[in-house]
């Protein structure tokens, strides 16, 4: 039989899953659950305590995505735009540019809210002037700073505002932004078809209250929804991509990005409510795992083998979805209903960063899913009491549609010799 998989846009993906009967799971949510809202945000201000903060976050993430798109085009047409940090991870003008842009905009609007982010300016200060000049140029093109031109020092200070030791928190609950300027930099460097995410979340008193993920290369689910609802077909317009937002108590929503091929033109489609999928059998689920990890390294491999071929899933196999690099891409897949599970194993000597998970956590939660560590405990963003930069999940991180969560935790528990 063909299993119809619901995504946040109502787009159904046909994938032959012969071992799943029609009575295996409850009926999928009816298509009437899917609707679009044409607005700057998908819910009224009176329903969202952090409406102003979310509007600002959507605006700056969208501009950050356009910055990424512009820089990415230049990566494949000129030399000298790809650099390596001391830890050998690739970093580009876009990584620094996005952090500087977001920091500048948020500090202007919310000067009392600190920023926790991935980069700092140390590498820029030790590199060629060409890199720094390129970052300043990229940020200047997208910022709303006004008539005063940005200097190199302005940009480096903005980057360092989110860097290590920029703000000392302490044990009490705090309010702060968490930014991943580009989650999936290696995917960013692969070209136009690879997924990467700009992710921004706001934490208030220890709780994530809103999140925005921009994915410039997300492929046209929102356009398909508009076509299905009798709206104008915008799928042939340049500027593929999507932006996902979540606000506590208001759900998770997605729409297409503005016309990222032209920063002066904005084409917005309507907001679409996102829900996780309704799969309730582990063997019928669609899984995402880190690109650096193998299925065989995970506890579920004791019970199931894996395949990436959705047209030929055998008994005892589960489907692995290729989603390119970064954790936030996988959260986006689960929150949008494209994937059922994202599972990550914590490795010794590897620090799990808060910005790789914060925005994804609220997007999945507000879409009806669940996020815990491998023992079923909530991820503690305040575990790093001084800097709020690291989290310490027991065993690893488990992200699911909710229906599968306890089942997979039981498999992990029964395979404790592997954990």
Residue entry with tokens 């030790």: 126
Active site residue 307: no
Does 356 belong to an annotated binding site? yes
110: left (phi over 0), alpha (psi -120 to 50) or beta: beta
Q: Is 151 a catalytic residue?
A: no
Q: Is 183 annotated as a binding residue?
A: yes
Distance of alpha carbon 245 from alpha carbon 363, whole angstroms: 7
Q: Which helix (H) or strand (E) holds 345?
A: strand 341-345
Q: Which of 70, 95, 160, 277 is catalytic?
A: 95
Closest-CA residue to 258 (of 142, 90, 87): 142
Enter the tokens of residue 192: 């136009």
Beta bridge partners of 4: 14
Burial of 21 (C-beta count, 10 Å sphere; 0-12/13-18/19+): exposed
Separation of alpha carbons 319 and 309, rounded Å: 7
State the Cα–Cα distance between residues 407 and 226, nearest whole angstrom: 36
Beta strand ranges found along 216-325 (DSSP E): 242-247, 251-256, 271-274, 286-288, 305-307, 317-320
Selecting among 36, 92, 143, 185, the annotated active-site residue is: 185
3-state percent breakdown (helix, strand, coil) of the chain, nearest 5: 30, 20, 50
Residue 311 annotated as lining a ligand binding site: no
The single-letter DSSP state of residue 285 is -
Binding residues: 118, 180, 182-183, 356
Active site positions, annotated:
95, 185
Binding-site annotation, residues for Mg(2+): 118, 180, 182-183, 356
């Amino acid at each position: 039989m063909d299993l119809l998989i619901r995504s946040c846009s109502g787009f159904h993906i046909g994938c032959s899953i012969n071992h799943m009967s029609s009575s295996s799971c409850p009926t999928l949510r009816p298509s009437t659950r899917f609707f679009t809202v044409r607005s700057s945000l998908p819910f009224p201000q009176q329903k969202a305590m952090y409406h102003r903060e979310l509007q600002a976050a959507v605006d700056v993430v969208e501009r950050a995505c356009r910055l990424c798109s512009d820089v990415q085009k230049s990566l494949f047409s000129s030399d000298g735009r790809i650099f390596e940090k001391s830890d050998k991870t690739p970093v580009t003008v876009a990584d620094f540019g996005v952090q500087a842009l977001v920091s500048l905009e948020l500090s202007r609007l919310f000067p009392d809210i600190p920023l926790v982010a991935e980069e700092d300016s140390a590498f820029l200060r030790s590199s060629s002037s060409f890199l720094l000049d390129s970052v300043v140029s990229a940020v200047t093109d997208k910022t709303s700073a006004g008539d005063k031109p940005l200097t190199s020092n302005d940009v480096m200070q903005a980057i360092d505002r989110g860097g290590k030791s920029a703000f000392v928190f302490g044990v009490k609950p705090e309010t702060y932004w968490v930014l991943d300027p580009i989650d999936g930099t290696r995917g960013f460097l692969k070209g136009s078809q690879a997924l990467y995410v700009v992710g921004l979340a706001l934490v208030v008193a220890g709780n994530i209250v809103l999140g925005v993920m921009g994915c410039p290369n997300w492929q046209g689910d929102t356009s398909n929804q508009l076509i299905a609802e009798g709206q104008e077909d915008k799928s042939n317009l340049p500027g593929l991509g999507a932006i996902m937002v979540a606000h506590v108590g208001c759900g998770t929503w997605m729409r297409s990005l503005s016309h990222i091929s032209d920063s002066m033109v904005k084409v917005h489609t309507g907001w679409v409510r996102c829900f996780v999928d309704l799969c309730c059998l582990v063997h019928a689920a669609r899984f995402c795992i880190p690109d650096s990890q193998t299925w065989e390294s995970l506890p579920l491999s004791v019970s199931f083998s894996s395949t990436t071929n959705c047209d030929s899933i055998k008994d005892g196999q589960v489907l692995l979805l290729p989603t390119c690099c970064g954790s936030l891409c996988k959260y986006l897949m689960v929150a949008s209903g494209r994937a059922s599970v994202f599972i990550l194993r914590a490795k010794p000597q590897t620090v799990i960063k808060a910005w790789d998970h914060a925005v994804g956590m609220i997007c999945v939660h507000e879409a009806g899913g669940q996020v815990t560590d491998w023992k079923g405990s909530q991820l503690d963003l305040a575990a790093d009491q001084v800097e709020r930069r690291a989290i310490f999940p027991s065993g690893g991180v488990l992200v699911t549609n909710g229906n599968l969560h306890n089942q997979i935790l039981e498999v992990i528990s029964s395979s404790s010799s592997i954990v």
